[in-house]
Structure 1
Amino acid sequence: MQFKQFFRNSRMKPWDGVIILLLILFSFLPLVIFSYQQTAATPIKDQKKATTAVLRVDGKEIRTFSLAQKGKTYTYKYEADDGDYNIIEVSGNKIRISDANCGDLICVQRGWISKKGESIVCLPHKLVIEIQTSAGGDDGELIY
């Protein structure tokens, strides 16, 4: 079947194909935009930035963990007064919750995080771990 015969025998017009093709191309636009933002967010080697993970429980900052490329590996156990606990593991420049006594264990399933803006949330314990970077300048201003 030839191309012209296809359009004569169907209800599709020639411009319908162009519109469908444009819609398919535009559907990939968010992928291009978000991948560009991820590459733009990667730190430049010339800038010295300190990466930290901030542990907050019920909105209050409990502790900060320094994340360095060649940092040591250690665990930290956060235990609330009511017996809720989360075991936090830091290994070099990444952090995770390795164990918890919450019911759903979504925080454990989240796995390792290491990029600026990533977070781990344990809703039953109201616990949040968030990665932040600060500029190496004098003011120590946080960059989000």
Structure 2
Amino acid sequence: MHLRKFLCCMPLKYGVIIAGASFGLLDFIIGCYGWNMLIKNEFPKFVVEFFRTMDTRICVAGFATVLWLLMINNFLLVYAVLYKKLLLIGTWLLINYMVFLFTLVTVLLDSWAFIRIGCLGYCLIVVKSYYTELSVVEAVESDSSRGASESEDESNA
């Protein structure tokens, strides 16, 4: 599936920036909430129940750390769009495809995970479409610059 616009009205570039910034901000807030639980050593009942067979402190610290790493990844997506860094956009796609697959397991346990998986799925399509768009432009530019350098070589001979 390939999109031409984000939400049917906005260019893909701005849609990717919105996706990176919103997921980055959301991951930052949830990660901070996890670290706040650790500092206060107070965990909501649903968190204790979710990790009932494991140490709650270690699990919450692990999830908070992963969310902060995802936050960095999402803000790097914004940077990559602004400076057209295909490698960083591809890395974001790879990491978030894995997150998408891991989150599918938790969709049955939490309704918020269902909302996140829906938004993430759409954003993966948007970012992939933008990545494809940039790849095509870069390929065309490299072909045209190669043709220009070949013409210069022929005129110099």
Same fold (TM > 0.5):
no
Between structures 1 and 2, the one with greater strand share: 1
Of structures 1 and 2, the one scoring higher in RCO (CA 8 A, sep 6+) is: 2
Between structures 1 and 2, the one with greater helix share: 2
Whichever of the two has the greater Rg, that structure is 1
Q: TM-score normalized by structure 1?
A: 0.25
